[in-house]
Structure formats: C-alpha cells, structure tokens
Amino acid sequence: MDIATLIGLIVGPGLVLWGMMGGGSSLKMFIDYPSVAIVGGGAFAAALLSFPLKNVLSLPKVMKHAIFTKPRDPQELIGELVHYAEVARRDGILSLENSVREIKDDFLVTGIQMAVDGTDPELIQSILECELDSIADRHSDGKALFDNIGKYAPAFGMIGTLIGLVKMLSNMDDPSSIGSGMAVALLTTMYGALLANIFALPVADKLAKRSAEEMLIKQIILRGVMAIQSGDNPRVVEQKLKTFLPAAMRTSSEEAAAA
C-alpha cells in the first residue's frame, strides 16, 4: 500500500466522523439500516444490471489491486533491459534463454522468449500490442465498475430520501415527529454521497492511475524487446527507453550513473 492511499483512507472517513461527533452529537443519530440497505443494495443492483456477474464478483480483487499493488520503478526496468541488451550483443541473443527463467514479469518473458526463438519482429510487436490492448480493456472494466457505483449511489440516496419524505408527509398528524422523520429521510442522501465520494470514485481514479503506470511499464518492455531483437547498441537501447521518462527522471538517472 502506498502512503497516499493510506492517508486517504484515514483522513477522509476520519474527517466525516469528526464532523458527525462535533457538538456532542451521538453517532447513533446517523445510523439507519433501511437507508444503508437502499443505497448499498441499490448500487450493487445497478452494478449487476450494468455488468456481467463475474465482473461484479471481481470487485474485491480489483479494489485490492488499486490499494495494494505497487508500481514497478521504470528506471529499474530500463536498467534491466539495458543489461539484457548488453548480454545479447556480447554473447548473442540465444544467451538470453537462461535469463528468461529468472524474469518474474510474464509480459517481458513472452517478449524475450519470442526474440530468442527468432520470431519475426512484426509478429512480436503485433502479439505484444494485442496483449497490451487486452490489459487496457481489463483495467477499463475494473474502473468502469467503480465509476458505476459512484454514479448510482447518490441517485439511490435521493430515492431513499424521497421514500422517507413520502412517509413523513403521510403522517402529519404528529408535528413532533416531522423533525426526526426529515433527519432519517436525509440520511440516505448522505449515505449515497459518502459511498460515491469517499469510496467508489476515489478508487476508480486510483485504478486509472495504476493502469497508466502499468501501461507505461509495458510500453517500455515492448520497445526494449524490439530494440534487443534488432541488435541495437545497449546505449541506444537506453536512450530509446529513457524517452518514456520525464526529463527530471532522465537527469537523475544520468547523474546516478555518472556517480
């Protein structure tokens, strides 16, 4: 888990709880189980209507990926690919077959193995790009699931509020119950807003960030494999791959190498 995610998980709900308990208020007044059922159950039902069941059931796995997956350092990856380029240039590309067993990234293994097997460069690029498209589609599905929850949770909160208002207005004989009835009615709107803005939409944004980071890594691997397969000089390979990095990261990498 990265530090930003940890801070967000603590600060967001913490501020809400602090606001609820301010002025000596009790948390019990903010709890209404039918409202929770309407918002939570409604958002889940909307997800079932919008996506196949297997996508909805994968929600915990997708959330785990958003929170706990640590992106790989692109500079470290570039260094690894330059090393493979040096080995291939010195000992021949077939010598990389021994290195494949030590590589943990399946995408990199696929690329290196095809290069070692003498696969046509255009076919290597086509296969890896197809896998990139498949990865991007899976990431898009995960983000869309949380976007869907974030979109419909406030709507179900409003539906719950309308139900509460109808009940309250149908029982106007007791004016003393109007205040408490209005409070309960408004709770579903609050639950919907909280579910969307403290959970669903931030997780969707985190998934988008994680996807961009992973796609950058895969693009570096793709270009690195193609450069190695074509027999480029390791320095050329490094320069090609550094173009994927921001200028500041390129400078720091060069300074580290010089030191």
Distance CA 161, CA 170 (A): 14
Annotate 47-78 with DSSP letters as a single string: HHHHS-HHHHHTHHHHHHHHHHPPPPPHHHHH
Residue 259: the pLDDT is: 46
Determine if residue 105 is left, alpha or beta; phi over 0 gives left, psi from -120 to 50 gives alpha, anything else beta.
Answer: beta
Mean residue pLDDT across the chain: 87
Q: Would you state the pLDDT for residue 70?
A: 78
| Chain centroid offset of residue 173 CA | 52
- Which of 99 and 15 is assigned the larger pLDDT? 15
- Using the predicted structure, report yes or no on whether residue 28 has a pLDDT greater than 70: yes
Per-residue pLDDT at 258 exceeds 60: no
Residue 99 binned pLDDT confidence (cut-offs 50, 70, 90): confident
What are 122-141's pLDDT values in tens digits? 999 999 999 999 999 999 99
DSSP structure class, residue 40: I
**pLDDT value at 37 more than 90:** yes
SS (H, E, C) 141-204: HHHHHHHHHHHHHHHHHHHHHHHHHHHHHCCCCCHHHHHHHHHHHHHHHHHHHHHHHHHHHHHH
pLDDT tens sequence across 192-251: 999 999 999 999 999 999 999 999 999 999 999 999 999 889 999 999 999 998 877 765
Q: What is the pTM of this model?
A: 0.83
pLDDT at position 170 is: 79
Hey, where are the domains in the chain? 1-31
Band of the pLDDT at 180, cuts 50, 70, 90?
A: low
Q: What is the pLDDT of residue 30?
A: 87
pLDDT at 237: 92
